[in-house]
Amino acid sequence: MTARQRRRIYGTAGKIGCFGKLLIFIVAGAALIVGMNRFGSWQERREEQRHQRNLAEAEGDLRAFAQEHLPELQRVIHSFEGEIERREAMLERLADDMRRLNREPGADPDYRRWSDAVRKMHEELSLLREKRADAFLAFRKFELNPDSSDDAEARAQRFRLAQDAANEGRETFERLLREAGG
């Protein structure tokens, strides 16, 4: 900053007086607070995006693992995902139609029954995904120490549990479809 610029700033500061200086201080403080809030929001959005990317990568790894090592479990998970998506779209269309006709979807027993079936499918899907994740982690641990008989037994147990979950999941899926009327 040159001497001329400093003189200009000091001259201006002298002209605005005490109240003006206080006002500038308050406005500068407010601008700082707003800037910090925006930076914090930006950081939170960035962190959320990073978290979503990590989840997507993990899901891809889990799918690839299950496709190779637990194909039946992955097929059941895929069936649940597809059916849930299809049923949710149909329920949304039905709810929209009911609202257009001045009906409350939550008051309709069939709508509630189908919504409950979709909710149960979500719960079962979560359990199946958890079993898949357990088997994946057991496999990764086994890769670290493939010679350990304890780890091999634990891995085999996780795989048996995942296979059992696939069989139970398929049966649950078929039962839920029957209960939901389709």
In the predicted model, what is the mean pLDDT of residues 118-143? Answer: 87
pLDDT digits (tens, 9 = 90+) for 72-99: 889 889 988 999 999 999 999 999 999 9
User: 76: closest CA among 129, 133, 155, 118?
Assistant: 129
Give the C-alpha separation, 55 to 44, whole Å: 16
Q: Mean of the per-residue pLDDT values for the chain? A: 81
What was the pLDDT predicted at 29?
A: 72
What SS3 state is found at 168?
helix
pLDDT digits (tens, 9 = 90+) for 92-119: 999 999 999 999 999 999 999 999 989 9
